């Protein structure tokens, strides 16, 4: 079944087209406005956005690289299910990298960074109850800020390339698990960085990123049609 794509108010025909179409479609997939199995037509989208087919084709390729769509030549491109194994392994990589990142930051005690992070925590609190997508964006900004402050921006770009499937899971989970709890976990990380306690900062980040594993069984039970390659014993336990 096809889904009508509404042009985002921020769509700017004078700016680069492909990144904008990619952003709009990626957000709609992550928000589940375009759930697994949704059909995306290259010619239809090109007509809809009043652009050539090239930027749409480039968008599809990028979405396919992120595991969000399956391109079927001469047929409709389909939104994929969430790959359970990719989610688990992406989270594993993130935990290993980000636990080390916050440990590095805790040895520095950068007061300007602490001020920036405290401001972000306030912004997270503001959108936690009202806008899941805004919260996810604030969450990513928080983690990206930590990585860049530690001089690990290249590592973060690699992590970002793994985030798409995790973002879809987290959007599903925000309806069940209050985002306010994630803000509390972020706050504990910042507290330990400020305390210059590398071990505790690392432990707080690991616990934060392990939440996804703790919550997965319930998320899958309530949204089984969204997932691929999951272990049935996990959700039946």
Tens-digit pLDDT profile for residues 213-224 = 888 888 888 898
Q: pLDDT-derived band of residue 233, with 50, 70 and 90 as boundaries? A: low
> Which residue would you say has higher pLDDT here, 165 or 177?
165
Mean pLDDT, residues 147-170: 89
Q: pLDDT-derived band of residue 16, with 50, 70 and 90 as boundaries? A: confident
- From first CA to last CA, the distance across the chain in angstroms is 33
For residues 92 and 206, the answer to whether their CB atoms sit within 8 Å is: no
Q: How far apart are the C-alpha atoms of 101 and 107, rounded to whole Å?
A: 10
Inform me whether the pLDDT recorded for 172 exceeds 70.
yes
pLDDT, residue 53, reads 92
Tens-digit pLDDT profile for residues 69-96 = 999 887 889 999 999 999 999 999 999 9
Query: What integer best gives the mean pLDDT of the chain?
Result: 88
Q: Which two tokens stand for residue 49?
A: 């956005």
Tens-digit pLDDT profile for residues 98-135 = 999 999 999 987 999 999 999 999 999 999 988 887 88
Q: How far apart are the C-alpha atoms of 232 and 1, rounded to whole Å?
A: 27
**Range in 39-48, 142-151, 155-164, 196-205 with the lowest mean pLDDT:** 155-164
Inform me whether the pLDDT recorded for 164 exceeds 90.
no
Percent residues over pLDDT 70 in the chain: 91
Please count the CA atoms within 13 angstroms of the CA of 205 that sit on its side-chain side: 28
Q: How far apart are the C-alpha atoms of 201 and 196, rounded to whole Å?
A: 8
Tens-digit pLDDT profile for residues 32-66 = 899 999 999 999 999 988 899 999 999 999 999 99
Residue 183's contacts (CB-CB under 8 Å, 6 or more residues apart) are: 121, 124, 125, 128
How would you label 110-132 residue by residue, b for 16+ Cβ within 10 Å and e otherwise?
eeebeeebeebbebbbebbeeeb
- Residue tagged 């997270």 (tokens): 124
Inform me whether the pLDDT recorded for 232 exceeds 70.
no
Q: pLDDT-derived band of residue 235, with 50, 70 and 90 as boundaries? A: low
Whole-structure pTM over 0.85, yes or no? no
Q: How far apart are the C-alpha atoms of 72 and 69, rounded to whole Å?
A: 9
């Amino acid at each position: 079944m096809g889904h009508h794509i509404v042009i985002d108010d921020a769509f700017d025909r004078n700016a680069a087209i492909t990144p904008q179409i990619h952003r709009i479609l990626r957000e709609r997939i992550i928000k589940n406005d375009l759930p697994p199995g949704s059909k995306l037509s290259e010619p239809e989208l090109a007509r809809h956005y009043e652009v050539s087919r090239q930027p749409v084709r480039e968008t599809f390729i990028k979405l396919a690289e992120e595991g969000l769509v399956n391109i079927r030549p001469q047929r409709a491109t389909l939104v994929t299910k969430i790959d359970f194994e990719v989610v688990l392994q992406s989270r594993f990589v993130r935990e290993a990298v980000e636990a080390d990142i916050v440990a590095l930051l805790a040895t520095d005690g950068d007061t300007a960074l602490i001020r920036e992070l405290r401001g972000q925590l306030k912004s997270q609190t503001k959108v936690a109850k009202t806008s899941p997508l805004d919260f996810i964006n604030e969450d990513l900004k928080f983690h990206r800020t930590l990585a860049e402050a530690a001089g690990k921006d290249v590592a973060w770009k690699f992590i970002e390339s793994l985030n798409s499937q995790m973002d879809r899971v987290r959007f599903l989970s925000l309806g069940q698990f209050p985002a306010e709890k994630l803000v509390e976990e972020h706050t504990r990380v910042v507290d330990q960085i400020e305390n210059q306690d590398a071990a505790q900062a690392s432990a707080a980040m690991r616990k934060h990123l392990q939440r996804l594993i703790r919550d997965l069984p319930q998320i899958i039970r309530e949204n089984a049609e969204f997932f691929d390659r999951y272990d049935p014993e996990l959700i039946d336990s």
